[in-house]
Chain A
């Protein structure tokens, strides 16, 4: 079937605005991860869902960041009061279970101006 899909592929927003980034995981994958990748860096963990619940949100940098996965499939990463330092590629990945191969989406490139 289809791979992990992320929308939008690119998002430019003004400082202080609210943004939502969407992730459609591979069908049947119970584990879903959000990562943030800055230029020249490895993916930095943000949050991990097992089903509908956030099993680990220790990577969220502050309370401006929030993510949901209400039905255990699609997930939305929400960023309030965006700052220029939030600019990065936000990657979503899913896997059939934790501790197994994670399949990445193409990412959303967020630019805060």
Chain B
């Protein structure tokens, strides 16, 4: 089955800095890669996703890049704000498998 590794497990940045979270996956058949944000005690919420037919996708301060050859994808947050502080999860799936999640990255943005 699919295995998703996520790094780092914790990330501390100053407000205004950029944050990058990286994930690798094992199943070459995976073609859908969402990122979820989970605030303490709340449900995971999708913030951005990418499919394997594109290499990059942006939505305001958030971007995701995908390297299918290397089987890794990354989340980039620019101009971080304190409200970006949360746990971020990457995930991967194919048409034959359900979403497999990474272990999460706790992002702390200090004012």
Contact with A91, one of B44, B94, B95, B102 (Cβ below 8 angstroms):
B44
- Interface bits A86-113 vs B (CB < 8 Å: 1, else 0): 0000010000001111111111000000
Measured CB to CB, the nearest residue on chain A to B36 is A104
Bound Cα distance from A38 to B89, whole angstroms: 14
Q: Which of B101, B102, B103 lies at the interface centre, i.e. has the most chain A CB atoms within 10 A of its CB?
A: B101
Q: Which residues of B contact A45 (CB under 8 A)?
A: 98-101
Q: Which of A32-54 contact B (CB under 8 A)?
A: 33, 35, 40-45, 48
Q: When A33-B98, A101-B49 are in contact, do A91 and B103 touch as well, CB less than 8 Å?
A: no
Q: With A and B bound together, what is the CA distance between A33 and B103 in angstroms?
A: 18
Count class of interface residues, chain A: 20 to 34
Nearest-CB distance from A96 to chain B (Å)? 13
Instruction: Please determine whether B43 and A104 come into contact, CB atoms closer than 8 angstroms.
Output: yes
* CB pair A101 B98 closer than 8 Å: no
In the bound complex, how far is the Cα of B102 from the Cα of A59, in angstroms?
15
Residue B80 at the chain A interface, CB threshold 8 Å: no
Asked if residues B101 and A42 are in contact (CB atoms below 8 Å), the reply is yes
List residues of A (6-63) whose CB comes within 8 Å of B's CBs: 33, 35, 40-45, 48, 56, 58-59
CB-defined A-B contacts under 8 Å, sample of 16:
A41-B104, A42-B91, A42-B102, A43-B101, A44-B101, A56-B97, A56-B98, A91-B43, A91-B44, A99-B31, A99-B94, A99-B95, A102-B46, A104-B36, A104-B45, A106-B43
